A and B are shown apart, each in its own frame.
Chain A
Amino acid sequence: MSETIKFFLKKFLTVCLDILPIIVVIAFFQLFVLRAPFPNLQEALFGVFLVVLGLFIFIQGLESALFPIGEKMANQFAMKGNAFWVIAFGFALGFSTTIAEPALTIIAQKAGKLAADAGAIKKEAASIDNYVLGLRLSVAFSVGLAIALGVLRIIKGWSLVKLIIGGYCFVVFLTYFAPINIIGIAYDSGGITTSTITVPLVAALGIGLATAIRGRSPVLDGFGLIALASLNPVMFVMMYGIAIHGIR
């Protein structure tokens, strides 16, 4: 029993360690730079408590259920040698894990509220919800597509660098046409999506696939799925912006 308690305590401390640097930096600023107590300290502390507790339970669930089965499936598909199913699985994995990604959920909500405040969309609950859902779906769809493309790349042995550079060129092209109020969100969406749920599962698929196919190195080819997954959303969110606000 004490082993289990030790195990959970260790996990809990790991989560606390995630928050610790933020608390240290903020405490330093309150004490030495601002020289004032933090405003609404109690509420903030309660929020931080919820973050630690929620993250702890969440990661526990991911590690005991989702990651083992996801990694096992990724390996099985990689070994199966059926290109259609691996690509389909790659797309589905990218899409479904991105929809669940918490950082994307919260930032899309804030973006919706800001867009309504700025008058870019109607200030009604329904139109804000639609905008938020549209953002999240564009990002999820683009991550799915990125993983499918990345899997195809590993199978065919295409150069990652060329794909990425081609993608950057398309980003530049789209930036010229995209409405000004979507560009910031679009550029950010790449970094937001690749997070807690998506990264471990997608990395498992990439490394499994690169190991299974002869002539591929897990290092050179296994990585790179994440790189595509953080590039694609930038384009798709800009296209979403063009679709709803029109060309600049």
Chain B
Amino acid sequence: MQVLIDSLLGTVKDILPILFVIGFFQTVALKQKIPNLPRIAFGMILVIVGLSVFLVGLEKGVFPVGIEMANQLSGSKFTGVPAEVSGAASVAVDAAKYLWVYVFAFLIGFSTTLAEPALIAVALKAREISTGAISPWGLRIAVALGVAIGIALGTYRIVVGTPLYVYIISGYIFLVIQTYFSPKLFIPLAYDCGGVTTSTVTVPLVAALGIGLATNVPGRSPLIDGFGLIAFASLFPMITVLGYAKIAEIISNRGVTK
């Protein structure tokens, strides 16, 4: 109960800026009264109560589940890798022993993205722009594959311990080159796909998975190596979506010339 009350107080503080922005801009800039004030006030109470309960749920439910899955799949009992390393701090890790972690990361990325409501809306919009060349299902699968590959590769990186920026910066360079060759209409859409696709429930779960994994793999630090999965999950969908747009363009052009 105490946890809920603390969360409630914190949430009120977090929501205050929004209330201030609405109040200030309505009265000072737009010089209007706030319409439907009772309805909005009630809605705001719902936001505050819901957000407080949700945050406690993330803290007590989602985050520990992510850590627990990492513990089970990368713990020494399951992988056979000794938990404590004697001698040198940086030790070569047998990356193949963590195969199931990559599979888990892939499946979580793929399934949650495919079910993401925000993505469904974007996919319908994409069909509109492309006049049918991009099918909603095609786009959703392209994004889901991007997130899945991204998170799986990200867990592999945590296991082998390559610095995060090596992967992300090479990814960005690839993306920039790819952008140059992509159909222009899709570039903003593809760029937005990076940020939109990971929901509020998936992000903490995936972050917890990374932190738990970095805690278990010998020689890794959760602070330095544990983060980065979300960055992977935002980068790769852009690449797969631009790739899909290019393929769709080639196929529809071929149809025209025939």
Contact = CB atoms under 8 A, between A and B. Distances in A.
Contacts of B72: 29, 34, 36, 39
Given A61-B48, A164-B191, 11 more contacts: A20-B115, A50-B61, A54-B50, A58-B46, A102-B54, A105-B55, A106-B204, A111-B223, A118-B222, A188-B228, A194-B196
23 contacts: A22-B112, A33-B73, A44-B61, A58-B50, A62-B43, A62-B47, A65-B39, A66-B18, A69-B34, A92-B21, A93-B21, A95-B17, A103-B204, A114-B226, A117-B222, A117-B223, A171-B169, A172-B169, A180-B224, A184-B223, A188-B231, A199-B196, A227-B194
Contacts of A117: 222-223
A171 to B, nearest CB: 8
Nearest to A34: B72
Nearest to A184: B227
A62 B49 CA distance: 12
B15 to A, nearest CB: 6
B198 interface: yes
Contacts of B107: 25, 28
B56 A50 contact: yes
Contacts of A229: 195
Contacts of A180: 224
Contacts of A185: 227
Interface of A: 14, 17-22, 24-26, 28-29, 33-34, 36, 38-40, 43-62, 64-66, 69-70, 72-73, 76-77, 80, 85, 88-89, 92-93, 95-97, 99-103, 105-107, 110-111, 114-115, 117-118, 120, 160-161, 164-165, 168, 171-172, 175, 180-181, 183-185, 187-188, 190-197, 199, 219-221, 223-224, 226-227, 229-230
Given A54-B57, A65-B40, A230 B234 contact: yes
B47 A58 contact: yes
A56 B203 CA distance: 18
A196 B73 contact: no
A118 B221 contact: yes
A101 to B, nearest CB: 8
A182 to B, nearest CB: 9
B65 A47 contact: yes
10 closest cross-chain pairs (CB), A and B:
A47-B61, A65-B43, A184-B227, A54-B54, A58-B50, A61-B46, A57-B50, A50-B57, A54-B53, A51-B57
Interface string B13-57: 011011011101110011000110001111111111111111111
Interface string B211-245: 10000000001111111111101100000000000
Contact of B187 (A26, A56, A161): A161
A218 B9 CA distance: 39
Contact of B191 (A171, A193, A227): A227
A240 to B, nearest CB: 14
Residue from A54, A164, A165 having most chain B Cβ neighbours under 10 A: A54
Contact of B192 (A53, A110, A165, A227): A227
Contacts of A56: 50
A184 B46 contact: no
Nearest to B4: A50
B203 A195 contact: yes
Contacts of A59: 50
Contact of A183 (B111, B118, B164, B185): B164
Contacts of A36: 72
Nearest to B194: A230
Interface in B147-183: 163-165, 168-169, 172, 176, 179
B221 to A, nearest CB: 6
B138 interface: no
B126 to A, nearest CB: 9
Contact of A64 (B42, B64, B163, B201): B42
B189 interface: yes
Contacts of A103: 58, 200, 203-204
B163 to A, nearest CB: 8
B20 to A, nearest CB: 7
Residue from A33, A50, A72, A77 having most chain B Cβ neighbours under 10 A: A50
Contacts of B165: 172, 175, 183, 187
B68 A48 contact: no
B51 A102 contact: yes
A231 B60 CA distance: 30
